[in-house]
Structure 1
């Protein structure tokens, strides 16, 4: 939550960070912040005391699904933004504008809200007690959630970041005549590390939960609530890691964080400070 809050404050406060690309990072930080501020406390209470009215259970599930899917969709659009920035740099400024990013953000939050409402209202709560708040058992809806939350994003992000990696390698080799072999090697390693972190962290965090959703109908929902909740919490850690992946790795964000944490913005106007 602190990391996402820092990202939000930095992008809103510093004019140099007012770019279309950072608007997507801001949208991601907002959804991830709300996961930590709303979903996790609510889910903790419901797990400790699951005997809640059905409407409260559905409200919690709707917010959970909406914010989780919005976070995932933001990651997909960020990968598209990075593709144009690296692979089509000459046309990047004309294609990725504030209007384009605004449409991306609108699609993200509208689609996430619709998924949350549809999956929740059409899902059937598991368990005999009408007041027991548990996850939903509906094979078609589970499959839709898994496809939306894991399989489609993987199909979008993995090819895009693979293409970015290949372009980065070609660019590194093209400057080999003017750069040392050590420099080229570092560029290639950095590109490889970025690809591994972006796709690997997302997949590792979300795969156990979403794959279990896919398999539940075929094993007669025999997974215990504790195991399923553990998978969900592991998936939510992706929202805490995103600030490190998409912001903390950049020097201008680190400069912004140092200024904010030092308290300098309380005493002077630094909105136009040079971060890079």
Structure 2
């Protein structure tokens, strides 16, 4: 059924910020974009180039870094112009493509974080059966789900205009304008996006982190309660395992914290806004979106801080050793598991 709306030709009101404010915003956003691109590109190059890093876990890390790189390359630059100018210069069809890609890549990044937490859970809590449980095939299935489910969900919802379902009149009368590209959700789709893209993967990450944390504490208590004559031997035997447990718990905790800090405000706003009659200001909504983008910017920094193999690979790339013959066989770490 075709519906005609009298307000569809009304132009959106552009930004009234001064040139200094716009220049500052553009500078900040360009810095975020470049940091996102460089950081995630380094992760992709490191894992792809060095053969010692060709592990199932790192395939998952590389896939997530690819998602974050594409977010910085394909989505953030256009979002930057929209956020600063409060106007969309790139046409209605490209608006749908941009919005779909934005939702897809943001959700895919979150899905990867969730699957990485599951991988680390089995590595720490069931190390003897880890290789059997987390085979290359299982990792590829995780990667496929992380890409395909957000893609079908995002493009299907936006191009079929399911995000307007139940709120068409509100959107066309009060939100829609020529030159606008607003990410709009009805009550139903707002809750659906919140559940699929944030609550479910976030809950998985939280549960896994808590489980690893308590297992690490139980291990430490069991070592302390051991017979003093046997304690030294057990400490030596379990030292590496405990170190990995602590590192996994700390890394996952930081990833979870960064994820929650960056994305929680946006998704809470998204799910609440339809129930508040869309009172969230455009400027605030754009700020929350960029706060979410920061998750993709900060992920490589977490790797650089906690993973020695990434720091060594990064150093090798930056000083040009990567161009030497057989550099792909360079020893990045001594332990068999990075």
TM-score (norm 1): 0.92
| Whole-angstrom distance in 2 between the partners of 1:270 and 1:90 | 32
More deviation in 52-61 or 27-36?
Answer: 52-61
CA spacing shift, 1:128–1:2, aligned 2, 3 Å:
closer
**TM-superposed deviation, 1:119:** 2.7
| Higher mean C-alpha displacement, 18-27 vs 141-150 | 141-150
Q: Deviations over 1:52-98 (max 9, x none)?
A: 53212111101100100100000011011001100010100111111
The alignment of Structure 1 onto Structure 2 pairs a total of residues equal to 273
* Structure 1 residue 248, shift from structure 2 partner: 4.1
Report the secondary structure of 2:329's partner residue.
Answer: coil
2:180 matches 1:123: no
The equivalent position to 1:251 in structure 2, one of 304, 308, 321, is: 308
Matches within 5 A, 1:202-213: 202-213=259-270
CA distance in 1, matches of 2:104, 2:249: 31
Give the alignment of 1:76-115 within 5 angstroms.
76-115=114-153
Structure 1, 130-139 or 22-31: larger mean CA deviation: 130-139
Does 1:141 find its partner at 2:189?
A: yes
Deviation per CA, 1:25-62: give whole Å up to 9, x if none: 00110011111111110111233233553212111101
Question: RMSD over aligned Cα, in angstroms?
Answer: 2.2
User: Structure 1's 103 and 243: CA in aligned 2 closer, same or farther, altered over 3 A?
Assistant: same
Distance 1:112 1:247, change over 3 A: farther
Which whole-Å CA distance do the structure 1 matches of 2:50 and 2:291 have between them? Answer: 33
Structure 2 unpaired stretches of 5+: 1-36, 165-170, 225-230, 334-338
TM (norm. structure 2) is 0.75
- CA distance 1:190–1:16, change in 2 (3 Å): closer
Q: Give, in angstroms, the shift of residue 5 of structure 1.
A: 0.7
Contact 1:162 1:195 in 2 (8 A): no
2-structure distance, mates of 1:268, 1:233: 41
Match 1:22 to one of 58, 74, 97: 58
Report whether the alignment pairs 1:41 with 2:77: yes
Gaps of 5+ in 1: none
* Contact 2:312/2:332 (<8 A) preserved: yes
State the SS of the aligned residue for 1:271: helix
Q: CA deviation at 1:240?
A: 0.8
CA contact (8 A) 2:194 2:270 kept: yes
